Amino acid sequence: MDISTQNAEAPPPTPQPSAAVLKSASRGATRPGDRIFLGLSRGSGIFLLAIMAAIAAFLTYRAALAISKDHGNFLTTFEWNTSLEPATFGIAVLAFGTVVSALIAMVLAVPVAVGIALFITHYAPRRLGGTIAYVIDLLAAVPSIVYGLWGALVLVPHMDGLFGWLDHYFGWTGIFEWQGGAPRSMLTVGILLAIMILPIITNVSREVFRQVPQMHEEAALALGATRWEVIRMSVLPFGRSGVISASMLGLGRALGETMAVATVLSPTFDINASLLDPGGGTFAQNIASKFSEATPLGQDALIASGLVLFVITLLVNGAARVIINRRKEYSGANA
Amino acid sequence: MTPTLARRHLDGGSWKELPKVKLQRKNRLRALSLGAVAVSGALALTACGSDDTGKSNGGGSSASASNNSAIKCDDAKGQLQASGSSAQKNAIDAWVAQFKAACSSVQINYNPTGSGAGITAFTQGQTAFAGSDSPLKPEEATAAKKACGGNAAIDLPMVGGPIAIGYNLDGVDNLTLDASTLAKIFDGKITTWNDKAIAKLNPDAKLPSTKIQAFHRSDESGTTDNFTKYLKAVAPSDWKYSGGKAWQAKGGQSAQGSSGLAQQVKQVPGAISYFELSYAADGINTVDLKTDAATPVKATVENATKAIATAKVAGTGNDLALSLNYKPTEEGAYPLTLVTYEIVCEKGNKADTLAATKSFLTYIASEDGQKLLTDAKYAPIPDEIITKVRSTISSLS
Amino acid sequence: MSTAPVSHRRASTLRGASLPKWSPWAIAVGSVAVAAGIGLGAGLDSKVQWGLIAAILFVLGTYAIAARVEGRRQAKDRVATSLVWVCFIVAVVPLASLIWETVKRGVKVFDVYFLTHSMGVVADTQPGGGIYHAIIGTLEQVAIATLIAVPIGVLTAIYLVEYGRGKLAKAVTFFVDVMTGIPSIVAGLFILSFWILILDMGYSGFAGSLALSILMMPVVVRSTEEMLKLVPNELREASLALGIPKWRTILKVVLPTSIGGITTGVMLAVARITGETAPVLLLVWGTSVINDNPFSDPQASLPLYIYQQYANSAGSGAAYDRAWAAALALIAFVMILNLAARGIARWKAPKTGR
C-alpha cells in the first residue's frame, strides 16, 4: 500500500456528473494512481495466469509421456502397475473413489455446515456464537495430517457399531452391505472428509450470512415473518452464491485430500458397490502412496492421474460458476 | 451496516477533511511496529533452541560409547544429505547418534523418503548416498551415471532384517505357516482361520472359525517386493503374480506403511500382515515359517542372519548386489528377509561430501557398526560379504 | 413474502397464541421418555437407536404441538430452530473429540524441553527430542509463502471484481478455478522440476514456500473475490460520487468493509498450507537438526514432523506421543495466528450493525 502516500497530495478532481464518474472509474485508467493500481492488479492476474500455464504445460507434457507408454487403457483399466514390463495402469478406480468419497462428504457436510453457520449468525446468543465461530475457525486450520491421525486412531475403531447397524437394517440395498472387514471404506473416508471440510464451509457461509443487509431482514420481520421465514426468504437467497462457493472450497479440499485419506482408507484396485467394503482409492491418496517408490515412468503416470483430478475439479468448479451466475440477481452481488 | 459506513464518509463534509492521510500514517506505524514485534519474536525464537545431543536419554547411545574409537573423522565436515529406504531408518538413527558423538563437525541427515524417491534424489545429484531395499535396476543404473560424472553407481549391502508375519488371533500364541499357505491366504484362497491347510500345520492350536483379514501395503514398498519375491520363489504354483513393489493380488485390505499395517493387526481380530520385525512390538504375535528344515523357524534377528549368510553376491566388480536364498535347508534359518543397500558412486562422488560419506560408511560397515544392528532388531551382513564392502568403501573416490 | 399473508390467522388479539418458554424442554423430556419406552419394549440394545428415535419424536412432537397451538408457520419455525441446534450438536461431537484427543495425547511430552530442542540425534524410536527445528521451519516457510501469495491473490481478486471485464478476467477466473484443484504434490513436483532441476538450486525452505504459495493463491483469490462482491455498490458509488479516485475507493472503502472476510479467507489459506506435508517433503525435505536459514539446506516443518513420527515410528509409543504433541503445537500455533488476524480484522474493520 505504498502508492497511497505517493498520491495523497493529488489535486482534487474537477466535479463531474456522477454517471460520468462511474463510467470513467470503471475504465479505471484515467488518473496516475488508478493506472498504477490497475496495472498492479492486472499484473497479478497475468502472473497467476502465467504460473498456471507453466504448470499446465508441465503436467500435460509429463502425462503425455506416461500415457503413450501405457499398455492398458488409461481410462478404464482396473490396475496400477507402473514398475513392470509392460506398464499397465488406469484411473477408473481412482475416479470412482474420488468422486464417491467427495460426494458423501458433501452430502453430509453442506447441510450441517449451513446449519451451523445459521446457528452462529441467527440463533445462538451473540457471545456463544462468537466463541463457536472462533473454535470453528480454529478447526478449519487443523492440518489434515492431524485429522489423519485422529481418523486412524480414534474414528475408525468407533465405526464398527455404525457399520454393523447399517448392514443390519440397510444391507439389502447393496450399498450398505458389510463383509465384516476393518471399517476403513469409502463411507469412513467420506465421514472423515465431511468432518474436515465442515469448518471451511461453515466459516465462509457464516461470513456471507453476516453480510446480508440488515434492512432485508428487518423488513421481513416487520411483515410478521417468523425467524425461519426471514432466513428462507432473505438470508438464504442472498447467501446462496457464497454458500456454493464455500462448498466448492470444501469440495476442492475433499477431492484433493491426501494424508487423511491415505491413513484411513484401505484402498484396493477394485470397484465395490458397497460403501462399507474396501473398494477404490482416490487420486491424491494414490499419488501419495505410490510416489515415493515410483520409477520415472511411475511418476509420470501419477502426474497423469493428477491431471485427471484437475479436470474433475474444473468441471465441478465450472458447474458452480454457472449456478452462481444464474443466481446473481438474488445475491446483490456486484461483479 | 450500509448506512453507518456511508454516513461516516458523508458526514466528513468535503473530501479534503476526511482524516485519511493521518489514518494511513498511523496504520503504517502500527504495521511497522507489528512487523518489528514479529521479527524480534522470530529472532528471540531462533536464539533459544538447541539440538538434542542424545545425552538426556539413556537409550542405545550409552551402550557402546566406548566404541567411538572405531570412527575416524579424518577431515570430514559439513552436511551430509542422504535419503531412501524407510526400512533401515532405525539402524541409521542408531549409527548417526554414535557418529555424531565422535565427529561433531559432520551433520548427517537421513531422510526416509522411500527407496524409489531416494534413488531419484541420488540420480538428481541431491544426496551423497541413497538407501534402497533392492539393488539398482539397469535403467536406474544408467540414470545414476549422470550423478557420478559418468562412473557407475554401486550397491553396498549394509543392513539385513527379517520380515515378520504378524497376526491377531485370540488364544493362538504360536502359529506355523509355510509359503504355500501364506500365498493362499494373501491371495484370498484361504478365508477362515480353521481351514484344513492351516490346521494341518498347527495340530495343537485351537483355531477359531474367524474370517482371515489379510492386509497388504497400499503404498509401493520394498517390503512388499521382498515378501512377494519370497512367495514366488518358494510357492510358484500358489503365487502367480510377478512381484514388484506394488501389491498385485486382488482383494484383501490394505494400509499405508508398515506402521499402518502393524496398527491394523493390533486393532482387527483375525488380521494377518507382513512388516519389518521391529514393527512387531507391543504384543503382536509373529508366524513361524515352515522351511525345508525339520522344525519351523521363528522370526528373529539371529535366524535371519543365518539365512542371509547363505546369500550370494550377484553384482559384478565392486557392485555387491546380493541374491537371497529363499529356500535355505539349514536349521533355524529364517528365509523371509530384506537387505538394504547403500548406493554410492564408485568414482566421482561429490568432492565436498566425499570425506564425510567415506567416513560414515566405513563406520557403519565396521565391526562395531554392524554389531549395533542387533540391538535395533536388524541383522548384520555376513562376514564374507561385509569384508568386500569394507574394501570397496576404502577405494571410493 | 410469498407465503400466506398474516391476516389469514384467526387470532382474536394482535398476538397469536404461543407456547410457554419451557415447552421445548418438556417436549424433549417427553420424547426421550417415549423413546426409552419404545427401546425397552422393542428390545433395541443400541443407545444410538434410542437417541435417533428420541430425536425424530422430538421433531415430530414439536411440529405437531406447535402447529396446533401456534399455527403452521410457527411450527415450521420451531422445527427449523431445532434442526439448526441438531446440526450444531452433531458437528460438535467429532470436532470436540478431535481437540480432546489431541490435547489428551499431546500433553504427555509437551513441555519446554520439547519446544526448545530439535530431534538432533535422537532416534525416532527413542524418547526425548523436540520440535524446535520444525517450529522454526514452519514459521519461516509459511511466512514467506504468505508474503508471496497474499498480495498477488488479493490484487488479482480486486482486478476480477473491480476492473475485470473481457477475456483476461475470464481467463484468470477460469485458471483460478483450475488452480484450486491442484493436488499439493503436483505443485510440489512443478517447483521441484523448475527450481531444483532446471535452476539447479538445492532443497530449501524457500523452495517449499514457492510451492505453498501456489497452493495458497487460488484460495485467497476465491475467498477475497467473494467478499469483495458482497460490498454493496452503493458504497462504491457514494465514494466515487464524491470524486474520490477509484483506487482510493478500493483501498479505503471496499477493502476495509470486507477486511473481516478477507482475513478469514487468508487464515483459511494459511491454515491449508500450514498443514501441507507432500510438497514440504519434496522440496524442504526435512531434517532433524536446527536450520534457521530458509534459503539454503533442508529445513523441517511441523506437519512433516508429525507424518514422519507417525510413519517411521516402528510402532514405538514415544514417536506417537511426539506426533500428538507436535499436532498440539501446530494447532496452538494456528490458534495464535488466528487470534492475531481476528484482532487486526476487528480493529481495521468499520463498525457494522452486527
How do residues A289-305 score in pLDDT, each as one tens digit? 888 778 778 888 888 88
> In angstroms, rounded to a whole number, what is the distance separating the alpha carbons of residues C158 and C148?
16
How open is the CA angle C52-C55-C56, to the nearest 5 degrees?
90
The CA–CA distances, whole Å, from C115 to B46, C111, C135, C329, C330 equal 12, 6, 8, 9, 11
Among C112, C113, C121, the strongest candidate for a mutation testing the B interface, having the largest count of B CBs within 10 A, is C121
> In angstroms, rounded to a whole number, what is the distance separating the alpha carbons of residues B121 and B118?
5
First to last CA, chain C: 24
pLDDT of residue B159: 93
Question: Which amino acid does the sequence have at C190?
Answer: F
pLDDT of residue B340: 94
Residues 14-73 of A with CB under 8 A from B: none
The alpha carbon dihedral of C351, C352, C353, C354 has a sign of: negative
Judged by CB atoms closer than 8 Å, whether chains meet at A293 and B267 is answered as: no
Q: Which helix (H) or strand (E) holds B30?
A: helix B20-48
Q: Measured between CB atoms, which of C152, C164, C342 is closest to A48?
A: C152
pLDDT of residue C15: 61
**What pLDDT band is residue C300 in, cutting at 50, 70 and 90?**
very high
> In angstroms, rounded to a whole number, what is the distance separating the alpha carbons of residues C164 and A140?
30
The whole-chain average pLDDT of chain C stands at 83
Over the stretch B164-181, which tens digit does the pLDDT of each residue have?
999 999 888 899 999 999
Q: Which helix (H) or strand (E) holds B6?
A: helix B2-11
B215-230 average pLDDT score: 90
A48-69 average pLDDT score: 88
Answer for the pair B9, C253: CB distance below 8 angstroms, yes or no. Answer: yes
Instruction: Name which of A7-21, C205-219, C220-234 the model is least confident about.
Output: A7-21
A112-118 average pLDDT score: 91
Decide if pLDDT at B41 tops 50.
yes
> In angstroms, rounded to a whole number, what is the distance separating the alpha carbons of residues B232 and B215?
18
Judged by CB atoms closer than 8 Å, whether chains meet at C250 and A37 is answered as: yes
Decide if pLDDT at C7 tops 70.
no
Judged by CB atoms closer than 8 Å, whether chains meet at A293 and B115 is answered as: yes
CA atoms within 13 A of residue A6's CA, in its CB half-sphere: 10
Q: Measured between CB atoms, which of C88, C169, C250 is closest to A119?
A: C88
Decide if pLDDT at C188 tops 50.
yes
**What pLDDT band is residue B42 in, cutting at 50, 70 and 90?**
low
Give me the phi and psi of B276, to 5 degrees please.
-60, 150
Q: A310: which chain C residues are within 8 Å (Cβ-Cβ)?
A: 178, 181-182
The three cell numbers locating residue B60 = 542405545
pLDDT of residue B45: 54
Q: A193 versus C261: which is more confidently predicted?
A: A193
pLDDT of residue B155: 93
Question: Which amino acid does the sequence have at B342?
Answer: E
Over the stretch A220-258, which tens digit does the pLDDT of each residue have?
889 888 888 888 888 888 888 888 888 887 888 888 888
CA atoms within 13 A of residue B242's CA, in its CB half-sphere: 9
> In angstroms, rounded to a whole number, what is the distance separating the alpha carbons of residues A20 and A4?
24
Q: A281: which chain B residues are within 8 Å (Cβ-Cβ)?
A: 218
Decide if pLDDT at A335 tops 60.
no
pLDDT of residue C144: 95
C190-199 average pLDDT score: 83
Q: A212: which chain C residues are within 8 Å (Cβ-Cβ)?
A: none
B259 among the known binding-site residues?
A: no
The CA–CA distances, whole Å, from B40 to B33, B49, C131 equal 10, 15, 20
Domains and CATH numbers, chain C: 3-106 (no CATH), 132-348 (1.10.3720.10)
Question: Which amino acid does the sequence have at C277?
Answer: T
DSSP designation for B63:
T
Q: C182 versus C247: which is more confidently predicted?
A: C247
pLDDT of residue A328: 54
Which residue carries 458397490 as its cell?
Answer: A273
Task: Flag whether residue B271 sits within 8 Å of chain A, measured between CB atoms.
Answer: yes
Judged by CB atoms closer than 8 Å, whether chains meet at C162 and A119 is answered as: no
The alpha carbon dihedral of C64, C65, C70, C74 has a sign of: negative
Task: Supply the angle between the helices A186-210 and A92-118 in degrees, to the nearest 10.
Answer: 40
C164-186 average pLDDT score: 81
The three cell numbers locating residue B28 = 503504517
A174-186 average pLDDT score: 85
C249-270 average pLDDT score: 86
Residue B86 DSSP SS3: coil
The CA–CA distances, whole Å, from A225 to A7, A114, A206, B34, C14 equal 50, 21, 22, 47, 14
**Chain B residue closest in CA terms to C112:** B49
Chains touching chain C, criterion 3+ CB pairs below 8 Å: A, B
Residues 331-390 of B with CB under 8 A from A: none
Q: Which helix (H) or strand (E) holds B339?
A: strand B337-345
**Environment class of residue C72 by beta-carbon count within 10 Å: exposed (0-12), middle (13-18) or buried (19+)?**
middle
Residue B213 DSSP SS3: strand
Our CA-based measurement puts residue C61 at a distance from the nearest CA of chain A, in whole angstroms, of: 18
Over the stretch C30-88, which tens digit does the pLDDT of each residue have?
888 888 888 787 766 666 677 778 888 888 888 888 888 888 888 888 888 888 887 88
What is the residue-wise DSSP string for A71-97? SS-TTT---EE-SSSS-EE-SHHHHHH
Judged by CB atoms closer than 8 Å, whether chains meet at C311 and B257 is answered as: yes
B166 among the known binding-site residues?
A: no
The three cell numbers locating residue C5 = 399473508
Over the stretch B30-39, which tens digit does the pLDDT of each residue have?
544 555 555 5
> In angstroms, rounded to a whole number, what is the distance separating the alpha carbons of residues A233 and A227?
10
Q: Please list, residue by residue across A67-94, b when 16 or more beta carbons sit within 10 angstroms of its beta carbon and e when fewer do.
A: beebebebeebbbbbbbbeebbbbbbbb
Judged by CB atoms closer than 8 Å, whether chains meet at B218 and A181 is answered as: no
Q: Quick one: what percent of chain C has pLDDT higher than 90? A: 21
pLDDT of residue C315: 62
> In angstroms, rounded to a whole number, what is the distance separating the alpha carbons of residues B232 and B241?
7
Answer for the pair C140, C204: CB distance below 8 angstroms, yes or no. Answer: no
Rounded to the nearest angstrom, the gap between the alpha carbon of residue A184 and the centroid of all alpha carbons in its chain is: 22
> In angstroms, rounded to a whole number, what is the distance separating the alpha carbons of residues A149 and C102?
9
Decide if pLDDT at C153 tops 90.
yes
Which residue carries 445475491 as its cell?
Answer: A331
The whole-chain average pLDDT of chain B stands at 82
Q: B36 versus C174: which is more confidently predicted?
A: C174
Q: C19: which chain A residues are within 8 Å (Cβ-Cβ)?
A: none
CA atoms within 13 A of residue B243's CA, in its CB half-sphere: 16
**What pLDDT band is residue C349 in, cutting at 50, 70 and 90?**
low
**What pLDDT band is residue A9 in, cutting at 50, 70 and 90?**
very low
B282 among the known binding-site residues?
A: no
The CA–CA distances, whole Å, from A281 to A73, A125, A269, B163 equal 18, 43, 7, 26
B82 bridge partner residues: B110, B129
B221-236 average pLDDT score: 91
Q: C310: which chain B residues are within 8 Å (Cβ-Cβ)?
A: 259
**What pLDDT band is residue B187 in, cutting at 50, 70 and 90?**
very high
Judged by CB atoms closer than 8 Å, whether chains meet at A313 and C245 is answered as: no
Q: Quick one: what percent of chain C has pLDDT higher than 70? A: 91
B43-71 average pLDDT score: 55
Give me the phi and psi of B162, to 5 degrees please.
-80, 145
C242-252 average pLDDT score: 90
**What pLDDT band is residue C289 in, cutting at 50, 70 and 90?**
confident
Question: Which amino acid does the sequence have at A46?
Answer: I
Question: Which amino acid does the sequence have at C140?
Answer: E
pLDDT of residue B65: 44
H-assigned helices in chain A: 3-6, 18-27, 32-68, 92-118, 126-140, 144-150, 159-170, 186-210, 214-222, 227-230, 236-256, 259-264, 283-291, 296-326, 328-331
Q: C232: which chain A residues are within 8 Å (Cβ-Cβ)?
A: 213, 332, 334
pLDDT of residue C14: 57
B223 among the known binding-site residues?
A: yes
Q: Quick one: what percent of chain B has pLDDT higher than 70? A: 83
Our CA-based measurement puts residue C24 at a distance from the nearest CA of chain B, in whole angstroms, of: 34
Per-residue H/E/C for chain C: CCCCCHHHCCCCCCCCCCCCCCHHHHHHHHHHHHHHHHHHHHCCCCHHHHHHHHHHHHHHHHHHHHHHHCCHHHHHHHHHHHHHHHHHHHHHHHHHHHHHHHHHHHCCCCCHHHHHECCCCCCCCCCCCCCHHHHHHHHHHHHHHHHHHHHHHHHHHHHHHHHCCHHHHHHHHHHHHHHHCCCHHHHHHHHHHHHHHHCCCCCEHHHHHHHHHHHHHHHHHHHHHHHHHCCCHHHHHHHHHCCCCHHHHHHHHHHHHHHHHHHHHHHHHHHHHHCCCHHHHHHHECCCCCCCCCCCECECCHHHHHHHHHHCCCCCHHHHHHHHHHHHHHHHHHHHHHHHHHHHHHHHCCCCCC
Residue B204 DSSP SS3: coil
Q: What ipTM does this complex have?
A: 0.79
Rounded to the nearest angstrom, the gap between the alpha carbon of residue C17 and the centroid of all alpha carbons in its chain is: 43
pLDDT of residue B46: 53
Q: A107 versus B259: which is more confidently predicted?
A: A107
Task: Supply the angle between the helices A236-256 and C166-180 in degrees, to the nearest 10.
Answer: 50
Our CA-based measurement puts residue B220 at a distance from the nearest CA of chain A, in whole angstroms, of: 5
Answer for the pair A334, C237: CB distance below 8 angstroms, yes or no. Answer: no
Judged by CB atoms closer than 8 Å, whether chains meet at B279 and C287 is answered as: no
pLDDT of residue C2: 44
- State the pTM of this model: 0.83
Answer for the pair B72, B366: CB distance below 8 angstroms, yes or no. Answer: no
B221 among the known binding-site residues?
A: yes
Task: Flag whether residue B392 sits within 8 Å of chain A, measured between CB atoms.
Answer: no
The three cell numbers locating residue A322 = 454457472
Give me the phi and psi of B86, to 5 degrees please.
-85, -15
> In angstroms, rounded to a whole number, what is the distance separating the alpha carbons of residues A101 and A108?
11
B115 among the known binding-site residues?
A: yes
Decide if pLDDT at B243 tops 80.
no
Q: B100: which chain C residues are within 8 Å (Cβ-Cβ)?
A: 120-121
